[in-house]
């Protein structure tokens, strides 16, 4: 499970920089946007924390690392042009960036195969490795 610090930083970056589609913070119902337009959700499938330094109480470095999964959802039947274009733009937003203490690396390219079709939607995703240093 990611830290609240990471989730807040990622959502702040998205909300400040992404205006192309809706952003749905918690798509647990799978209903998406009322009009069926494309939208982005974020998942955090992998996270861990390691102690990097010792001997400095209150100033020790604890490094959280893991993956930010960016998921874009589209109506089916629209072809691949728009989904690939938007996913590339979204990946660029997180490629090799530093923001609010978070460092991100190379986002994976989106996969296109039969698993993209889920619940009447076409979904693409990208995995973005990250780390975040916390001090305690």
Distance, in Å, from the CA atom of 90 to the CA atom of 109, rounded to the nearest integer, reads 11
pLDDT value for 84: 95
Contact yes or no for 35/41 (Cβ under 8 A) = no
Distance, in Å, from the CA atom of 104 to the CA atom of 34, rounded to the nearest integer, reads 32
What's 31's DSSP letter?
-
Architecture of domain 4-24+37-135: 2-Layer Sandwich (3.30)
pLDDT value for 29: 60
**What are the structural domain ranges in the chain?**
4-24+37-135
pLDDT value for 30: 65
pLDDT value for 95: 98
Residue ranges of the chain whose pLDDT lies below 70: 27-30
């Amino acid at each position: 499970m990611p830290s609240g610090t990471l989730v807040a930083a990622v959502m702040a970056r998205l909300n400040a920089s992404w205006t192309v589609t809706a952003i749905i913070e918690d798509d647990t119902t799978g209903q998406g946007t009322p009009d069926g337009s494309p939208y982005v959700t974020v998942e955090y499938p992998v996270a861990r924390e390691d102690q990097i330094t010792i001997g400095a109480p209150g100033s020790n470095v604890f490094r959280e690392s893991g993956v930010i999964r960016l998921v874009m959802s589209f109506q089916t039947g629209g072809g691949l042009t728009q989904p690939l274009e938007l996913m590339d733009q979204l990946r660029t937003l997180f490629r090799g960036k530093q923001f609010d203490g978070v460092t991100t690396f190379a986002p994976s390219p989106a996969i296109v195969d039969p698993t993209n079709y889920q619940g009447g939607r076409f979904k693409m995703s990208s995995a973005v490795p990250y780390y975040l240093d916390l001090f305690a």
